Structure 1
Amino acid sequence: MIMSRIEARRDEDTVAAGPLVDRLLGGLPPEAVLTDPDVTASYAHDMASFCPAGSPAVVVLPRTVEQVQHVMRTATELRVPVVPQGARTGLSGAANATDGCVVLSLTRMDRILEIDPVDRIAVVEPGVVNATLSRAVGEHGLAYPPDPSSWEMCTIGGNIGTASGGLCCVKYGVTAEYVLGLDVVLADGRLLSTGRRTVKGVAGYDLTRLFVGSEGSLGVVVRAVLALRPKPPEQLVLAAEFSSGAAASDAVCRVMAAGHVPSLLELMDRTTVKAVNDMARMGLPESTEALLLAAFDTTDPAADLAALGALCEEAGATQVVPAEDAAESEMLLQARRMSLVALEAVKGTTMIDDVCVPRSRLGELIEGVERISEKYRLTIGVVAHAGDGNTHPTVCFDASDPDESRRARKSFDEIMALGLELGGTITGEHGVGVLKKEWLAREAGPVSMEMQRAVKHAFDPLNILNPGKLF
C-alpha cells in the first residue's frame, strides 16, 4: 500500500513536471535540462546543517543570458518557483531547493568577459570561480581582493548573492565594495542593468547594492562589473600565541587603536588549532589557547610585523613568531583556510555561526562561546576574522545522535543571541538563507521587515524567486 502511494505521487510529479520541462526545452538545449531524480537530488541543498530542502522538479544549466530569460519567463507563466544557485558552498541554506522548483544553476556561465587594466575592472559571468578570477587578473598586475575561505570553489555570483567577505576584509573590505554594476534577469524575464563602469557614480538609487546580499530573491545576476586594485606586494605573516582568547582580543584592539592596517588579522582558538593539526599534521602550537595570525602586504612587511608583534607582547602573547618567507606565510594561511573543514571532521557535522560584533567586544564573544560550550557539553571551535570582529563559532556534533543535535541547535541559537546582546549582527558574510530567518526578524525589527518585504514584492510580486529565504 505504501509503495503504491509513493508510485502514485511520482506519477503526479511527472505529470506536473511535464509541461514545465516541455516549455523549458523550447528555449534550451536538451543537455541543459536535467530531470533524472538522482541527479536533481544532488542539487537540492548547500553546505548548511539544519536547513530543510525540497525536491526540485528540474535543474537547468544555462550558458547565455537569453536562456536565463527564457527560464524566468517560463517560470512566471507557469507560476513555478526558481532557486538560483552557484557552487552551493553557502552555509545558510540560501541555495536550498523547494519542492517542485526549477533549480537554476549558473555554473556553466563561467566566462571572464573583460579585464581592463586602465579602468581597473573585470566583467564576468556569475559562474566564474573566485580563485580563477584572482589568478586571471593577477596576470595583469591587478587583484580582486574578496577571498572567502572557499575561494577555490565558490563562484562570483554566489559571492554577490551572499555579500561574501574573506580573510583580507580587515584592509580591503567585502564583496559589496567591489561590485560596480550588474546585469540582472528579473522574475518576469526582463533584463535590468544597474550601476556603472566608472569609479564614481550617484545617479539614482543604488540598485547594485540592493542586489548584493539579496540571496537570489530579487533577480538572477548574469553579469557583473567588478572593481580591481593594483596587485599588492607579497604579504608576510606573523603568528602570535596567547594564553586566552581575551588576551588575543586585547591584542587585536591594540593593533587597530594604534592605526595599523594589516592585510589579514585572523584568530584560531585551541580547538580549531588541534582540529587542523589532526587533519593536516601542520605542526601548529597546540599549547596555545588562541593563535593570532597577522599579515602585511606593504613595502616593508617585516618592520610592520615587528611593530605589531610588540603590541601582541604587550597584550600578553607567550610567543610571537614571524614567518621567514612567503612559503612559510602561505602554510599559515592554508591552515586558517582549512579550519572549517577540519572542525567538520571532529564529529562529522557542524553548525557554523557567523556572528559579527564590534572589535571591542570580541573578547566577550569568545568567553561567552566558551561558557555555552561547557553548558551544552559540546565541542565548539572559534575561528574569526578578528580584524573586523566577524567570528565563526563552529558547533561540532554527531548528526545521528538526536540529543546531541538538539543541544547543537540550542547552542547555535544562544551564540546568535549573545552576538546581538554585544551590539553585533547575526551574519557578517554567510547570509540569512533558511537558517537565520527568525533571527533576521529579531535583529531588523518590524518596520525594517515591512520595508524589506515591500522591496521583495516590487521586484518579485509572484514570489517565485527563491521563496522561503530571508523572510
Structure 2
Amino acid sequence: MAAGPLVDRLLGGLPAEAVLTDPDVTASYAHDMASFCPAGSPAVVVLPRTAEQVQHVMRTATELRVPVVAQGARTGLSGAANATDGCIVLSLTKMDRILEIDPVDRIAVVEPGVINAALSRAVAEHGLAYPPDPSSWEMCTIGGNIGTASGGLCCVKYGVTAEYVLGLDVVLADGRLLTTGRRTVKGVAGYDLTRLFVGSEGSLGIVVRAVLALRPKPPEQLVLAAEFASGAAASDAVCRIMAGGHVPSLLELMDRTTVKAVNDMARMGLPESTEALLLAAFDTTDPAADLAALGALCEEAGATQVVPAEDAAESEMLLQARRMSLVALEAVKGTTMIDDVCVPRSRLGELIEGVERISEKHGLTIGVVAHAGDGNTHPTVCFDASDPDESRRARESFDEIMALGLELGGTITGEHGVGVLKKEWLAREAGPVSMEMQRAVKRAFDPLDILNPGKLF
C-alpha cells in the first residue's frame, strides 16, 4: 500500500498532528530495546488520543490490509513492539489519562499510555497501591505492561500484572470495540477474555482502557542485604526463606558481575567481594523482626555478612541499585542480550551454576540478576555488537541459557514476553497441539493477520 492513500485515509479521522510521516521521525519508532530482533520501516506513525481514533485506524488498516503494530514506551526486551515494513505504528503514549480512582471499590480506570510510576503515585494519594512494578516503572506504560504481562520486584508477595487487570476495552482488528471483564472483585461469567488479552503482545486487539485492581498502601518496607560466597548458597537461602513460610515483599539477587557493573556506573559502594548479593524486604508492621528472622536463615545458608538497612532512605538506595542493574550491565560492553528464564525456586541454584559454565565456555561476561523469590532470572549477556564473532557467541550463549531453563522445568519468559526474540523457543516449550490452538485463537480475532504480524509465532 502506497503511503499517500494510506495517510489520506488516516487523516480522514485524525488530526494532522497525530499522523507522522517524516522518515527520520518514523524510523525512531521502529524498535524496542531488544537486541538481535529485526525491525522494518513503518509507513506512518499514528498517535491517537481517543478510542474512537484507534477505531478509525483499525478500520482503515482492515480496509487497506495494512499491518498495525501497537506501541507504548518501547521499553520492551523481546522485539514485540518492532515495526514491520509498511506498517502503521500505533503509538498509544498520548492516551495517558487516569480516568478514575475509586477507594471503595479499590480500582483505577486508566488509558494505556499511563506511566506505571505515575499511576502508583496517583493512587498513593488515596492510601492505595498498584503493586506491579517493573524495573522500568518510571518509563513503561500500563498498556505495555498488559501487552507483555509484565512482573516486577514485588511479585513474590503481590503477584504480576495479570492478577490486577479486571477488565479491558479493546479495539479489534476490524475496528469494533470489545469490553471484557468487570469492576467487581468476583466475576466468572463466560470465558475469561480479559486474561486472554493480557500477554498477547498486541496480536489480538488494541487495549484502549483498563480497569485495574488496587490494594491498600502497605507500610514502608525495610531492606536487608546478605552477601554469599556463591550463587548456590544464595539460592539455598531463598529456598529456606520460602520453605519457612516467610512472605517478603521483595527477594532479589544480584551476582558479582552485576554488583560491579552497578558500582562502576553509580558508585553505589556495594560489596564487590561477594559472589552473590541477596536483597530482601518486608513491608509488615514489624519489618525489623521479620528481617531478623530472615537474616538468621541467610546465615544458616552460609551468608558471609547480613546487613539490615537502618531506615527507608537506605532501603531505597539498595532498591535503586537493583533497578539500575540492566542499564549498568549494558554499559559493560555497549550491548546486551537479556534472557528472561523462570525456573522453579528449587532449581534456581542449578540455573545460576549453569549460566556460569556457559559464560566460561563462550568467554563472555554474563551478569545474573533475578527476582529470586519467583525463580525469575535475567541472565544478561554483555557483548560488543561490532564484533561478529562476539555477537555469534552471545546468541549461542543466549540459546543455551534458554535450553537450560527448559531442562530445569522452567519457562522461556517470566515477564518480558516472546516477541521476535523467542518465537522458536515458544514452539519448543508449548508443543504442536498448544501452538495449533494458539494460532486458531489468533485467526478468530485477527483473520487478516494485520495485528502485530510475525510476533509470537
Q: TM-score range by the shorter chain?
A: over 0.9
Deviation of 1:19 (Å): 0.4
What are the Cα deviations for residues 399-454 of structure 1, in whole angstroms up to 9, with x where unaligned? Answer: 00000000000000000000000000000000000000000000000000000000
What are the Cα deviations for residues 349-395 of structure 1, in whole angstroms up to 9, with x where unaligned? Answer: 00000000000000000000000000000000000000000000000
The gaps in structure 1 that reach 5 residues or longer are 1-14
Could you say what secondary structure the match of 2:342 adopts? coil
Deviation of 1:196 (Å): 0.1
What are the Cα deviations for residues 90-110 of structure 1, in whole angstroms up to 9, with x where unaligned? Answer: 000000000000000000000
Could you say what secondary structure the match of 1:194 adopts? strand
Counterpart pick for 1:463 among 426, 434, 449:
449
Deviation of 1:288 (Å): 0.1
TM-score, structure 1 as length reference: 0.97
Deviation of 1:162 (Å): 0.1
TM-score, structure 2 as length reference: 1.00
What are the Cα deviations for residues 186-212 of structure 1, in whole angstroms up to 9, with x where unaligned? Answer: 000000000000000000000000000
CA distance in 2, matches of 1:148, 1:363: 23
CA distance in 2, matches of 1:182, 1:23: 27
Could you say what secondary structure the match of 1:418 adopts? helix
CA distance in 1, matches of 2:362, 2:21: 43
What are the Cα deviations for residues 220-246 of structure 1, in whole angstroms up to 9, with x where unaligned? Answer: 000000000000000000000000000
Which residue does the alignment assign to 1:125? 111
Could you say what secondary structure the match of 1:84 adopts? strand
What are the Cα deviations for residues 66-86 of structure 1, in whole angstroms up to 9, with x where unaligned? Answer: 000000000000000000000
CA distance in 2, matches of 1:170, 1:282: 25
Question: Are 1:38 and 2:21 an aligned pair?
Answer: no
Q: How does 1:145-184 map to 2 (within 5 A)?
A: 145-184=131-170
CA distance in 1, matches of 2:125, 2:27: 39
CA distance in 2, matches of 1:57, 1:426: 32
Could you say what secondary structure the match of 2:327 adopts? helix
What are the Cα deviations for residues 304-352 of structure 1, in whole angstroms up to 9, with x where unaligned? Answer: 0000000000000000000000000000000000000000000000000
What are the Cα deviations for residues 87-138 of structure 1, in whole angstroms up to 9, with x where unaligned? Answer: 0000000000000000000000000000000000000000000000000000
CA distance in 2, matches of 1:460, 1:310: 54
Deviation of 1:303 (Å): 0.1
Could you say what secondary structure the match of 2:341 adopts? coil
Aligned-CA RMSD value:
0.4
The alignment covers a number of residue pairs equal to 457
User: Displaced runs of 4+ in structure 1, greater than 3 A?
Assistant: none
Question: Are 1:317 and 2:303 an aligned pair?
Answer: yes
CA distance in 2, matches of 1:186, 1:85: 15
Could you say what secondary structure the match of 1:69 adopts? helix
Q: How does 1:441-456 map to 2 (within 5 A)?
A: 441-456=427-442
What are the Cα deviations for residues 142-174 of structure 1, in whole angstroms up to 9, with x where unaligned? Answer: 000000000000000000000000000000000
CA distance in 1, matches of 2:392, 2:51: 44
Counterpart pick for 2:221 among 231, 235, 247:
235
Which residue does the alignment assign to 1:8? none
Deviation of 1:278 (Å): 0.1
Deviation of 1:218 (Å): 0.1
Deviation of 1:30 (Å): 0.1
CA distance in 2, matches of 1:109, 1:201: 28
Deviation of 1:35 (Å): 0.1
CA distance in 2, matches of 1:23, 1:366: 53
Deviation of 1:252 (Å): 0.1
Deviation of 1:141 (Å): 0.1
CA distance in 1, matches of 2:242, 2:119: 30
CA distance in 1, matches of 2:315, 2:84: 43
CA distance in 1, matches of 2:312, 2:117: 19
CA distance in 1, matches of 2:192, 2:48: 28
Which residue does the alignment assign to 1:9? none
Q: How does 1:195-206 map to 2 (within 5 A)?
A: 195-206=181-192
CA distance in 1, matches of 2:36, 2:293: 44
Q: How does 1:278-297 map to 2 (within 5 A)?
A: 278-297=264-283
Deviation of 1:183 (Å): 0.1
Could you say what secondary structure the match of 2:263 adopts? helix
Deviation of 1:259 (Å): 0.0
CA distance in 2, matches of 1:432, 1:332: 30
CA distance in 2, matches of 1:466, 1:128: 21
CA distance in 2, matches of 1:202, 1:62: 33
Deviation of 1:456 (Å): 0.1
What are the Cα deviations for residues 282-311 of structure 1, in whole angstroms up to 9, with x where unaligned? Answer: 000000000000000000000000000000
Counterpart pick for 2:243 among 257, 280, 283:
257
Question: Are 1:135 and 2:121 an aligned pair?
Answer: yes
CA distance in 2, matches of 1:64, 1:203: 28
CA distance in 1, matches of 2:375, 2:5: 50
Could you say what secondary structure the match of 1:226 adopts? strand
